[in-house]
Amino acid sequence: RVAPVSYSQVAVDKIADWEGFREKPYMDAGSLRIGYGRKAKKGETTTSDKERGNLMTKVQDIGDWLDGVVTADLNANQKAALTSLVYNVGQGSFKKSKALKALNAGDMDEFRKQAFSKEQGWVKSKGKFIEGLHNRRKKEQALFFG
């Protein structure tokens, strides 16, 4: 019998795929990023192995945090999808969101709309619709509701 894959491994694999890896700093939404999207210092370089380790730590931290704010029962894929979403949008943004309220109330239609929809989901940067964010939300939605 094969042991089930943990939410954290699923989340690391998906985030790594969806973020893409960069060994040198790049600008993203006004801040310097590196690796799989973590904050960077000017002139820093990194490796994918190092960044996968950093990503696993961050994923587990987000997962622990989600355990404290989400009251709904989640399967591994749902927790992985939420972890990816929070990794991308931030804990503060998610904690005060209508998406979290809907999820905890068991209103999955409203949760889907608030978290992932083109109209109301996290698909904008500085007020501007971003196709890449919309595509990522579609993948997270598919993982969550799959």
CB 94 within 8 A of CB 100: yes
CB 113 within 8 A of CB 120: yes
- Over residues 1-15, the pLDDT tens digits come to 666 668 999 999 999
Give 125's contacts (C-beta < 8 A, 6+ positions apart): 29, 133
Burial state string for 115-133 with b = 16 or more CB within 10 A and e = fewer than 16: bbbeeebbbeeeeeeeeeb
- Over residues 48-94, the pLDDT tens digits come to 999 999 999 999 999 999 999 999 999 999 999 999 999 999 999 99
